[in-house]
Amino acid sequence: MGYAELTPAQVLAPGFAAPEVTGRAWRVRWDRARPIGAAALPAVVDFHTSGTTGPRQRWRRLGPKVWAEAGMLAELVAPGRPDAVISFVPPVHLFGALTTVLVPARLGVPAWYRESFFGELPDVGGGRPVVMATPWIFELLLRHLDWVRGLEHLTVLYGGAMLPATAGDLLRELGPERVLLVEVLGSTEAGGIATRSWREGEPPDWQLFPDVDFAGPVTAGVEVPLAVTGPRLAFRPGEPVPGSWTGDDRVVPLGPRTFRHAGRAGRLVKVNGRRINLDDAEHTLRALLDCADLALVPVADPKIGEHVELHLALRPGAEVADLDLAAAFARLGVRPRKLHVVPRIARSALGKLRHVPTPPTPDEEVAAR
């Protein structure tokens, strides 16, 4: 795959959503460019929510605040002493604009961008790159282990949906001396909220960004909605900057600046009195079912109130009978009400399940047995 050689101006001037910025592979030599600052950005930058939990909405962010957030992300990956950036995150999203364009500008390192999952990885000279990742990128890296093993060190900055099981596979493959995983929890409305970094084992607790606080008092050990305040909150056109933001994440505060993530409100259901985090449940199923993709979708049930259905995208040439669904459901502890075999599962660029999943045809819907 070829990468168009672009100047910083050719990436910044059209805007992050421009087709020439998001729709092709390119490289920018920030290491050879004159350093930029917040003045290189518009006074106000517009971003849109992904549409995974409802209609897309436009949110505005002040240019200096976007630049400041890029600086904080650059500090998060600094322990890996990065000398290059390879990004797969479309700049049209806030996280993509930060990680694909502005973080490498702040680091002063060359940056490669491509949206496609397919193709060869760029030649970075076996150094210490940062990979800006979406959920599928861990699988891509595992497919190119010769390239990965040729690196002195790899840092992965991830800010999508729940971390896939392949992330753990990559950590085990490289070992703690040669890989650093940095995870960011955030949203279009609030920007980066919290982060955690690790090299092996189980992930640590989440830490709030330095300029973020819980909105109001919290009690350690008591689950609450994630509500935060800080100077980087986005605002709607024609409206003032809000004083706080409350998301659909549920968290258990562990101290004044740390918490454990309990799940997203729309992904927490009770089936026959048992509370299920659907993100965790999907994580379990992915480790047991060899399929292209899967999703657990919450549904209303006339008898028990809440239930879940499994949407399953098979690998080419595979059949449902090839999968040990009984063992997977036994491990899960819940049998989905229905199984839908679909051509694909609609997701955002950051891996989040779209608000309306791909509908199955009548002959693709079967009982989950």
Q: Give me the pLDDT at residue 120, please.
A: 78
Distances (CA, A) of 330 to 282, 324, 333: 14, 10, 5
pTM for this model (two decimals): 0.81
CB neighbours (10 Å) of residue 297? 20
Length of the chain counted residue by residue: 369
CATH architecture of the domain with range 272-367: 2-Layer Sandwich (3.30)
Q: Is residue 299 classed as helix, strand or coil in its secondary structure?
A: strand
Q: Which CA distances in Å does 209 have to 55, 68, 156, 219, 290?
A: 28, 12, 18, 19, 37
Closest CA to 120 of 25, 21, 22, 29: 25
Neighbours of 225 (CB within 10 A): 12
Question: Tokens in use for 108?
Answer: 């002063």
pLDDT of residue 148: 95
What CATH number should be reported for the domain whose range is 4-263?
3.40.50.12780
Where, residue-wise, is CATH 3.40.50.12780 in the chain? 4-263
Task: Provide CATH 3.30.300.30 ranges for the chain.
Answer: 272-367
Q: In this structure, what token pair is assigned to residue 321?
A: 């009978």
What is residue 1's predicted lDDT score, i.e. its pLDDT? 63
The residue whose two tokens read 């101290």 is 255
Digitized pLDDT (tens) for each residue of the chain, 369 residues in all:
689 999 999 999 999 999 999 999 999 999 999 999 999 999 999 998 865 555 678 999 999 999 999 999 999 999 999 999 999 999 999 999 999 999 999 999 999 999 877 777 899 988 999 999 988 899 899 999 999 999 999 999 999 767 877 888 999 999 999 999 999 999 999 999 999 999 998 899 999 999 999 999 999 999 999 999 999 999 999 999 999 999 989 999 999 999 999 887 777 787 876 778 888 888 889 889 999 999 999 888 777 778 899 999 999 999 999 999 999 999 888 899 999 999 998 887 667 776 544 444 444 444 454
